Structure 1
Amino acid sequence: MRILRTPARLRPRSVRAKIVALLMLPIVSLMALWGFAAVTTASSIGDTERAKNVNAELLTPVGEFVTALQTERSAAVRYADEPDAFAKAGAVTDEAAAALLEGINSSSSDAALLDTGLPERLAALKADAEGLTELRAAATAKDAKPSVAYTRYSAVVQHGFSATGALTGDESTDAASEARVVLELGRAREAVAREQALLAAAKERGTLTREQYAQFVGAVATQRELLAPGVADLKAAHRTAYRKVLDGDAYARVQSVEDRVRGEGPGAQAVSAAALAGWDTAVSGVIEGLTAAETGAGTGATAKADPFGWGTLGASGVAVALGLVGVLLSLLVSVLVGRGLILELLDLRNSALEVAGRRLPQAMRRLHAGQGVDIDAEAPMRRLAGDELAQVGTALTAVQRAALKAASERAELLSGISGVYVSLARRSQVLLHRQLDLLDTMERRQHDPAELNDLYRVDYLATRMRRHSESLLILSGIAPGRGWRDPIPLADVARAAVAEIESAARVQIWATPRVSLAGGSVADVIHLLAELVENAVSFSPPSTKVQLRAARLREGVLVEVEDSGFGMNEEALAEANAKIRSDRVDLLDAKQIGLFVVNRLRERQGLRVELRQSPGGGVTAAVLIPEALMRDDMPMGEQTGHDRGLAPASALIPRQPDGY
C-alpha cells in the first residue's frame, strides 16, 4: 500500500504552523456548515420578505380588484333595475384599480424573476384596470345585453386569476397556507360569484336561457369540485373560517337553490320568485365569508408573516444560532488550547536551549577547571508525571544529569590521572637531579675529550628527561621546581632552550636583542622554546637547519622558530593553533602532548604563540613575549640558585661556536 505524502513545500515548517493547521481544519469545516445553514436561513428570510412585498404590492391589490370586479359584475347584469348599486360598486372598483396600478408601478420585485409570464399578465391586467370606463360603457349601453357584460367582466376576472396564479407560483416559502390551494379556493369563490351574476341576469330577463343554464351548471360543478377538497387541504388554523362558511345556513340555502335550478332546467320556472327565495342574501353572505376566509388563509397570513419569527426561522434558525455559538466556542477553545500548547513547547524549547547553551557548558567548564558541581542543584530530577510535554522535560533533565554525571566522572578520572602524572614526575625529578649532580661531578674530574663528550651527551639526555618530567607537572597544573630570582639575558634563555634537545647542533641561533627576561618567567619560556625547537628538529630533514630568531617589537619580543620540513596543510595548522589557544587541556588526548604543554605555559605567562607556514615550505612557530616580562638592564652576572637547566648550556657554550 502506497502512502501519499504531502509535498515538502506545502508542509508547515514550524510547530506553531502545524498546530494552527491541525486546529483550523475542524473549525473551518464547522464554519462551512454554519455558513451553509446561515445562507439557507437568510434565504428563507429573504423569501419571506419578498413574499410580503409581493403580497403587499401585487397580490392584495389584485385580489381586491378581482373581488370588486365580481361585485361590479353582479351589479352590471342588474343595471336596469338597480343603477345606484352599479355606481356604488364601480366606485369601489375604481379604488381597487388605483391601488392595483400603484402597486404594479411601484413594485420592488422583479416580475420576471417570480415568473417568466408574469410581466405579460400584469400588463394585461393593467390594461383592464385602465380600460374600466370603456367596459362600463359597453355594459350600460341601452342595447347592451346582460350576457355581454357578464362575459366581458368574467374575462377581466380571469386575467386577475392568471396574474394571481403567477404570483403564487413561488413555493420557496410556506408563510401562506398552500398558496396554490388558496388560489383554487379563490376560483371556487369566482364560480359562486358567477352563479350569482347568471341568476341575476336571468331574473332580470325573466327566464334562464340554455346558455345561461349551461354556464350556471358549470359554475356549480366547479365550485363544488374545488371548494370542499380545497378546504380539506388547508392548514387547521385556516380551515376553520372556511368550515364556518360551508357549515352555515347561507351555504346550505345556496346549495338548495343550485339543486333546484339544475333540476328545473332552462326557462322561467328556474328563476321564479319561489325558486330564488332567499338566494341573493344567502349567496352574498357566502361570497363575503369566502372572501374573508381567503384573505386570512392567503394574503392575510402572508402579510402577518414575520421574517424573523419561528414560522420562518424554525429549526434552521436554532441551528444557525447554535452553530454560531459552536463556532465561537470552537475558536475560543482552539485559541486557548493551541496557545497553551505553543507556550508549553516554547518553554520546553527555551529550557532545552538554556541547558544546552548556558547551564551545561558552564557546569562543564567548572568541572574541567577542577571545581565541584552539585548535580542535584544544577539539574533537579522531576517526577515523571503530567502530559507528554512534561515527560519530555523530565527526559531532558535526565539527559542533562547523565551528561553532568559523565563529565564529573571524567573530571575525576582526569584528576586521578593528573595525580599519577605528578607522583611519577616528582619521583623522576628526584632521580634525575641525583643523576645530574653525579654527571656534573664526573664532568669536573674527566679530562679525556672523548669521555667528556660522552658525558655531555648523557647530560643532554638527562636534561631532556627532566624536561619531560616537568611537562607532566605542567599538564597537571603544577609549576616546575626550578626558577630564577634575577633577570636572565634572552640570548642565554635561547641557548638554554636549545641545550635541552638532543640535536642541538642543527639549531642556528641568530643575534638576539640585548634584553633580559624576568626571572619568574625564565623556566617557562625555556621549556616552551625547547618544546617548539624539538618539534621543529623532529619534523625536518636531518640535513637541514632550524632557525631561531628574536626581534624587538613595540608589544614585546618576537621569537621565531623556523624549520625547512614538509610543512603542514591549512587544516592541520588550524587544529594545532586551536590546541595551543584552547582554554582546556584534554589529558586523555595522547597525540601532540607538546602542544598542550605549550598551551599551559602560554596561558600561565601571558604569551602569544602561533604556528604558520614558512616561506621555505616548512613551519614557523612565532612566540610573542610581552613587554611586561622584559628588562633592558641586561644583567651580566651568573645565574643564581643551583638549577641544572642551564648547566649543559653553560658547559657547551664555551666549547662550541655561537649559533648552533
Structure 2
Amino acid sequence: MVPVVSLLALWGFATVTTAQDVSRLRQLQRVDTQVREPVSDAVVALQAERRAAVRQVAAPSQERAAALQQEARRTDAAVQRLRLDDRHTVVAGGDVPAAVTGRLAEFVTRVEKLRTLRTAVIGRKATWDATYEQYTGSVTAAFGVFGALTGIQDTGPGSDARVLLEFARSGEMLAREDALLTSAHLTRSLGAERLRLFTGAVWTRRSLAESAATDLRGPERTAWRELTAQSAYRQLQAAEDKVLAAPAGLKAAEIVPATAWDTAHTAVSTRLRAIETDARRVAADRADPVSGGILTPAGAAVLLGLAAVAASLVISVRIGRALVVELISLRNSALEIARHKLPHAMRRLRTGEEIDIQAEAPPGPAAQDEIGQVGEALGTVHRAALSAAVERAELAGSISGVFVNLARRSQILVHRQLTLLDTMERRADDPSELGDLFRLDHLTTRMRRHAESLIILSGAAPGRAWRMPVPLTSVVRAAVSEIEDYARVEVRQLPETAITGAAVADVTHLLAELVENAAQFSPPHTKVRVSGEPVGNGYALEIEDRGLGMGKEVLTEANRRLEESEALDLFDSDRLGLFVVSRLALRREIKVHLRTSPYGGTTAVVLLPTSLLQSALTVPPAPRPDPADEKRPAAATEPVPRTNGTPVPAAAPRPVLEAQTETPVPPGVTSLRLRGAPPQTQDGELPRRVRQAHLVPQLREEPPAEEPDDPAADDHTPERTPEQVRDRMTAYRNGWTRGGGAAPGTAAPGSEGAEA
C-alpha cells in the first residue's frame, strides 16, 4: 500500500491543480459573460451616442436630437446590464480583483453623469469640446475595465485579451476620427486643435491595428488581410491622408466629401467589429473550462494518474489476496473464540452442562505457513482454556456437592437439636434455666440459617417449606429472630398481607441476611427499623440502619451484584451474604436495591412481587394448640424439611407468640416475641404465652363477655362454646400443674404408677 498511497498523493496533487485551473477558467468565463461583453456593447453604444451628440452640437436640429435620444437609450440599456441595483455592480461581493470592481464602478458612474450632458446638448447649451471630452472620457474608462480584466487572466487567455483590447482601441480611434470629421463637415471648419486630435487618432489607430493584426490567429488574421485588401479600407486611408495633409480650417473640413467618408468608415468599422467579435468568440472557446482544463496535459495527467492508481490497486489486491484472506480468517477465528465460543462454553459449564472439548475445538489441518501456525497455536490455546474451565467446573461442582452434603447433615442435626430444645423448654420450670434454653434456641436458629446459606451458595434449595400462606408480619419477625442483635430491630406495623407458603423460607432468609447486615454495620446503640407498605406492583419493605453507610462506588458495586447475580467467587468471602441475597432474589423475582439513608446509614429496599403475595384475609387460622403442648410454635411457621420429596417432621425455630412489654404495640394486638429471645418474667414467674397473639386481628376471637352481677340476667347469658370450655379447663390444668400438683389422670409423685 505504500507505493499506492504515494501514487494517490501525486494524483491528488495533479487533480487539485487541474481543478483549480478549471475553476479559474470558469471564473474567467463568468467574468467575460457578465462584464466584458456588456462593457463592449456599452462602448459601441457610447461611440454612436458621441457621434450623434457632436453632430447635434455642431448643427442642432430636431432630427439629430431624436437620434441622440435613441442612442442614449441604447447606452443606458447596455450599462443597465452591469448594475445589480442603484449602488452595486455585477462584480460587487464577487471573487474578482478590486481593480476590476473599482474601474467598473467608475465607468458606470461616468455614464450616469452623461444624463446632464444629454439634456444640455439637446437644449443647445453644451459646447462641442466639453461634449467630446466627456464622452471620450467615458469610453476611456471602459477601456480601463478591459485592461483590469486582462490582468486576471493566464498567459494564453491574457494574450488573446491583449489582442482584443488593442483591436478595440483601434476601433475607438476610428470612431474618434468619425466624430471629429463629421462635425467638421457640419460646421465647415476643422480647427487646428481638432485637426491635431484627428491626426493623433489616425496614427494611433494604424499603430494599434498593425500590432493587433500581427497576433491574430487563423481565420481572424485572414479576415484582417481581406479587409486591408478591400477598396473601402484603401479609401479610408486615402481620406485620412488627405485630411492630414490639408491645412486647418475650411480646407481640411471639405477636402474629403462627407458621403465618401461615411461609406468608407461604415464599411471598415463594421468589418472591424466583426473581426473583433470573431476573435473574442474564439478566445472564449479556448478558455472553456472543459477544453482548457481537462483537455490539456494536466487533465491528461489526472486521467492517466487515475488509471495508474486503479491498476496499482488491482495489482496489489491480486498479489496480497491470499495473505489478506488468511489474516481475516485468523482474525475472525480469534474473535469468534474470544467473543462467542469461550463465553458460551463458560455459561454452559456454570449451568452444569457437560461439554466435549474435541467437539468444541476440533484440531485443524496441519499448518503450511506462519499464519497457519498462529491459527494452530490459537486452537491449542482454545482447547487448553476449555480444559481448564472444565476442570474448574468439575472442582466447583465437587466442592458444591461437599458443601451441600455437609450442610444437609448440619441441617438435620440442627433440626434434631431444635426438637430437643423445644422438649427441654416445655419441661423447664426454672426461669434462668428457661432463659438459657431460649438463648441456646436462638443460637441454633442462627446455625440453621448459616447451613441454609451454604446450601444456597452451592446452588441447591433449602429443605424448609410451608404449604399454607404466612402473614408478612410473622415472616419479618421470623427473619428478625434469626439474627444476633434482634433486640435492636424495630418492626413497624405493616399493612396486612401474606406470603405464599412456597416462598416463605426464601423471603425469611433474604430478610434475615439484610437485617443482620444492617445490625452489624451500625452502632450498637442505634435501632434498625423495618417498615413496609403495598405499592403498585407488589409490596415494598425498607430496612434502614443508621450506621456509617457505604461509599458511592461500593454502593454501586453492591447493587450491580444484586442485579446480575453473578457466579460466586470463592476468594471473595466478604460478599457471601450479598451473594445469598442475590440468589434468593433471582429465584423469587424479588428486587433488592441499596441506597443511602438520609440519616447517614444505608436503606435496603425489598420489592416483593405480586406473585408472592396473598391477602391476609384468605390465610386460614392456625389450628388451636393442644393444652398439653402449649409451648409449641404456631403451625403457620412450622418448617417441613423434605428429604427425597417426602416431608419429615422437624422442630425448626420460628416466631414464638408471646406478649412483650418493652415495645409499644397497637391496642388489642399482642407483639410477637421471636424464637430464641430471652423470656420476659415478672416477679420470678415463668413466661406466659398469650393465646391468639400470632393471628391477624381479623381472625382473633372476641373475649367472652363478663357475666352480669344481676342474677336476673342469667337467662340472657350466652351459652359457652365447647372451645371456651376447653380453654378454661386447660387453664385450670396448667395452673394446677404450676402449683406442684399432679396433672389430672396421673399419679402423684412418689405414689404407685408415678414411673408410668
TM-score for both structures, normalised by structure 1: 0.50
Higher helix proportion, which one? 1
Structure ranking higher on relative contact order (CA contacts 8 Å, 6+ apart): 1
